Structure 1
């Protein structure tokens, strides 16, 4: 079994040089951490269980639009409230 040691897109900053074409889970985790003002966010953390609400969710949606050029709806966010699932939605929309 071989192990891939090449850098992944998840190591890139969502808005920085070399930003990935699609979303990476780590980039969405960083967005959650920034808007929720907590480091206690993992790939499978539920935004709403972490204390997020609809107003704060709009900040995440705006950051996604700026960083990835994808406009997700609030309904998309509610249906995929974790960084992992939002990254999938972003990738699907691209």
Structure 2
């Protein structure tokens, strides 16, 4: 390959879309993993469960990687629960 040959970006595919209970279960699992907890309720506040801003970035990265939706930290702060993130992910996905 010469320097004049344009690089072809790798094919990207969107992660499979989850919705409803599957999405909520997936986000709850992310909270459990990053917070190292056995159980997290759907309305469990990330920060009251022991999370901090640095660990929150792991949640946001997992959401982007798993669901193809990049949320801001401010969006996370608006409702830092699995149910809140599920609603936000659903809204962003629907807007596409």
Q: Give the alignment's TM-score, normalised by structure 1.
A: 0.76
Alignment match, 1:28: 27
CA distance in 1, matches of 2:65, 2:50: 23
- Give structure 1 stretches of 5+ with no counterpart: 1-18
**Per-residue deviation, residues 44-92 of structure 1 (Å, max 9, x unmatched):** 1000000100000000000000000000000000001010010000010
Alignment match, 1:92: 91
How far is the alpha carbon of 1:39 from its aligned partner?
Answer: 1.2
CA distance in 1, matches of 2:25, 2:41: 9
CA distance in 2, matches of 1:25, 1:80: 14
Which portions of structure 1, spanning 4 or more consecutive aligned residues, are displaced by more than 2 angstroms?
none
Residues 46 and 81 in structure 1, CA contact (< 8 A), matched pair in contact too: yes
- Give structure 2 stretches of 5+ with no counterpart: 1-14
How far is the alpha carbon of 1:20 from its aligned partner?
Answer: 5.1
CA distance in 2, matches of 1:85, 1:60: 13
1:82 is the counterpart of 2:78:
no
Bigger Rg over Cα: 2
Q: Give the alignment's TM-score, normalised by structure 2.
A: 0.75
